[in-house]
Amino acid sequence: MNVLPAWQQSYHGEGILVGVVDDGVFKNHPDLATRVNHGSSHNFVSVQGSAWPWSPWSDPNDPTPSSESESHGTRCAGIIAAQENNNICGVGVAYGAEIAGQ
């Protein structure tokens, strides 16, 4: 992606909330911890046979996946809004945006 021209014009995603509907987003990932908007996130994962509309190990606004192996949503969220200049990994194309995870 040719994002440098957008960044040079100060388009970094500030004020934008992006929804990631996938297998969940690890809200404590160091590249995403400051980007996940907990109030806008929702957990749609249910346990088969349960009356709960979300996983009983998390609250309905917790986008954390139900297992460590479910990281696709976290990767997608990182491509979108991974924190800049933290020496951990890469940077999101809209690194100033917030993520509403599922």
Per-residue pLDDT of the chain (102 residues; tens, 9 = 90+): 899 999 999 999 999 999 999 888 999 999 999 999 988 988 776 555 555 555 545 577 778 777 777 889 999 999 999 999 999 889 999 999 999 988
pLDDT of residue 86: 92
- The string of DSSP letters for 12-67 reads S-TT-EEEE-SS---TT-TTTTTTB-GGG-------TT-S-SS-TTS-TT----SS
pLDDT of residue 42: 80
pLDDT of residue 56: 47
Q: Model's pTM, two decimal places?
A: 0.82
